[in-house]
Every structure is written in C-alpha cells, then in structure tokens.
Amino acid sequence: MKTITQITKVLSNHLNAAIRRKQNLISLINNGDINRLLPKLCNKSQQIRQAIEEYNPSKHKVTKRPNKPQKDKPDIETAKIPIPYQKVINMQATAFLFGSPVQFSDNSEVSEAQDDNGEIIRTSKAAEAFERFKQILKDTRFDSNMRTCKTLAGSETLCAKLYHLYLDPENELQVMVKILAKSYGDDLYYKFDDFGRLIIFARQFTIQDDEGNDEIHCDIYTAETIYRCTQEAIGWDVVAEKNPVGKIPVLLYPQEREWADVQAIIERREDIQCKDADMNDYFANPKVVGEGLVAGAINPDDPAQIIQTQNGGKVYYLTYDSAPENRKRECDTLDSFIYGLTYSVNPASDVIKEMRIPSGVSWEYMFMFPMLKAKNYQDQYGELIDREINVIKAIIGVLYPELKLNGQLDALNVSYQFSTPMPDNVADTLDIIQKSIDAGTMSQETAVSQNPRIKDPKTEMERLNREADKKNMANAIEPTF
C-alpha cells in the first residue's frame, strides 16, 4: 500500500510540475509578453537555416569558389557546379514512404441484423462517422499533404500541419489544412511536456496590411485556447478565443536532414566536379607547343596555314587524354557513399540504365535499402498518423455533433496501413496463395486478406459466406435419385 502511495505521489508531482510550467507560459501570453514567451519554447531556427541552405543548390559552397586572378587581364571564371544530391535523396525518401496512399479501414464493432430473406447483414456501428472521416481526408487532400510534409521535414528538419475551422459563405462550419514551414514564411515554436505530449504551439508570421505595411502576427495554440497576437508599436495585442476542437489542431513533423551523414562527402564530390570542369575549360583552348626550329610565326586564325620546321622540330597542341583514373575511381566511390549511406538509389547507375522490366521480387531486391528506410520511418510517421486520427475525430465532433450524441464517434476505430510504391506482381502473389490453399497451409480468410485484387477483405468474406450458404441450401433441397 505504501509503494502505491509513493508511486501516486511521484506521478502527481510530475503532473503538477507540468501544469505549473504550462501555467507560467499562459501567464506570459495573458500579459502580452510574447517576446519573453517565444525564447522559452523550442525553436530549431539554426538547424532549419542550415538545412535550407544545403538543400538549395544556389547556396552550396562551390557557388562561392573564387575566380583565378591574372596579371593585367580579367580573372579566369572558375566552374561553380552544385549537384542537387540532397533533393534526389529527399525525394526518394518521400516517394518510398508516401508514394502510394495510406489505406484507412473501419475497424469498429459491427452490429448484425436479418434482412427479409433471412440473411445476416453486418454493419459497422460507426459507418456514418467513418464516411465523415474519409470525406475530411479527401477534402483536406491528406495524401498530397503528407507527401508535402515529408518532403519539407526531410529538407528543413521541421514543418507542421494545421487544421483550421472556418465559416464558409453559407455560414456553415468547414475545415481546411494549412502546411506551415520556414520556407513558407512561418517561424515555428513548440513545447512538449515530460511525456512527449504537445502542450503549446506557436506560429509567427508576417502579413501586409491594407496600406502595404508589414504586420507581425503570432498564433498560439493550447488545448483550451487559441491566442491571436499582433505586434504593436509597444508590446503585443492578444485576443483569446476558445479552442472548439479541445485539442491542439497541429501535427509536428520533426526529423534530421535526409543527407545529414553525407554532407561532407557531397561537398567533396562537388569540389572534384568543379576542378574537372576547370581543367576541361583550360584544355578546350589548348596552347600550341613548338619543339626545335619553327619557320615563321603561327597564325591561329588561319586554319590552312602551312607550318615549316627544321632539324626535326615539332608543332602540336598541349592536350590531355583523359582525367586520371584515380580521380574517376574517387568519384565513383563518393557516389556510392552518398547514396549507400542514405539508403537511396543512384538513378544514374549502370544497373538502373540497363534495367528491363523485372519481376516484383527483383524490384524489391533492387530497391531494398530505400524500402528498409521507409519501414523505419513508418514507426515515427505512424505515431503522427495516430494523433491525426484523434484530431480528425475531435473535429468530426464539432462539425457533426449528432455523431457524438448517438455514440458513433466513440465507437469509431480507424486502422491504417502504409502502402508500397513498388509495382505489384499480382500473378506471382495469386499463384503462391493458391498453392498455399491447396497445400492446406492457408485459410480462405487469410487468402482473401492477402489477395491484392480485393480492396475490402471483410466485405468479401461476407459475400463468400453468403454464397456458400446459398449453395449449401440449394444442395440440401435438390432431389436425389
């Protein structure tokens, strides 16, 4: 008993400490002291700034290479060739995780009833709520927004998705989604409690007033209140409004830069490419070399000039046959490091160039590493999808209160599954399923759930069961002789 009391006390102390920290932040907001509030929140501005510069080819270090000075002549322009490895790596990471839509299913309890023919009809207890859920996903472009968020998170290390309720021209409540990111003009601030729960989120942005002057705004969200703050000449004007959702309607997507482990390698690869380009430019207008005695002056503007030499003299251009072999090997090694260490695929590799139309197994083998990385990301983004499901359910309760009153919203249980962007090898899959059924190692229900042609396994099993019942009934009443 004493142990339980001690545990309860410790948990209570943690909870009270978290509440006090949140109350201290709220008091700053109520006092209009936003300038003191924001530094107390998490902000990845330095990491975001670095990531954006590395992601933008025009900001790469090689673009700042100095020109080569010449005495009494214009400087020689050096090559400045940024290679957008970062974009290729990031786009692949997004494509393998969200290249195919996330599949949502209604996993709620079902109710059974008999129709006029005596057949059992099974209906989800949250059928209408699930339809509303799917409609919100469609209206807010869930799949395209997830790809955008993943791309932004991988390129900037942080972005957010904001669910916003508003009144349309017919004065009806609607919902929309806005993506927030530094590259979109948003400075994001947030605070988690000791258990990783988001307790406060702030978005600072600048808009222009009717006279074209910049206005700095800061919207702050808690589960209970939304604060609309506007910076004035002295201090901030704060307008508080009730949060109708009852949750912070924001999803945060933090992650490390997709290319973080290979940035130095990328810079080395770009430097080599630029130096090779300088060498090519130098030998594109080669020097004429004369050995021994050459009669007369060489006129470079006369292609038909005849040059005479004496005593075994020679005239030739100063050229080089090809880049050193060790330089080529280093470039190949650097490319393999860049793509291999980021679990990506080199789109310019000989394997891709010579690729025919492989089977599904060959596809999976060829793109195994990007798929492994996507699998690892499913844990992180799956947790965010879980939270987004809860946010959408809370929004459904605001938009359609009748679903909350009749219990459908509480009964709604949404499950989801990530999809692979790899093409399905349907023939091989169906063949394996059929062989497993024939061998008695797979049930019909499992076969139906794994059949790529069947979109709703639960409904398909119900149809199969009804067809089997009809067939058995027909066999039972058929006369035999």
pLDDT tens-digit readout, 367-396: 888 888 999 999 999 999 999 999 999 999
Eight-state DSSP code of residue 163? E
318: buried, middle or exposed (CB in 10 Å: 19+, 13-18, 0-12)? Answer: exposed
User: Which pLDDT does position 358 carry in this prediction?
Assistant: 55
* Residues 228, 168: Cα–Cα separation, whole Å: 20
Closest to 133 (Cα-Cα) out of 456, 378, 418, 390 = 390
Residue range 404-424: mean pLDDT, rounded: 87
Q: Which one-letter amino acid corresponds to residue 197?
A: R
pLDDT for 466 equals: 78
Burial class (CB in 10 A: 0-12, 13-18, 19+), 170: exposed
Cα(468)–Cα(112) distance, integer angstroms: 18
Judged by average pLDDT, the poorest of 304-313, 342-351, 365-374 is 304-313
The percent of residues above 70 in pLDDT, for the chain, comes to 78
pLDDT at 334: 95
474 vs 269 pLDDT, higher one: 269
Query: What pLDDT score does 307 carry?
Result: 61
- What number of other Cβ atoms are within 10 A of residue 251's Cβ? 22
Reply yes or no on whether the pLDDT at 83 is more than 60. yes
pLDDT at 16 over 60: no
pLDDT tens, 189-215? 999 988 889 999 999 999 988 888 899
Q: How far is CA 254 from the centre of its chain?
A: 10
Q: What pLDDT is attached to residue 318?
A: 62
pTM of the model: 0.79
**pLDDT exceeds 90 at position 219:** yes
State the pLDDT at residue 11.
Answer: 47
pLDDT beyond 70 at 329: yes
Residue 175 tokens read as 């919902």
Asked which of 30-34, 51-55, 235-239, 323-327 is least confident by mean pLDDT, the reply is 323-327
Question: What's residue 364's pLDDT?
Answer: 67
User: What number is the average pLDDT over the span 13-33?
Assistant: 74
Q: What is the pLDDT of residue 441?
A: 79
**pLDDT number for residue 451:** 73
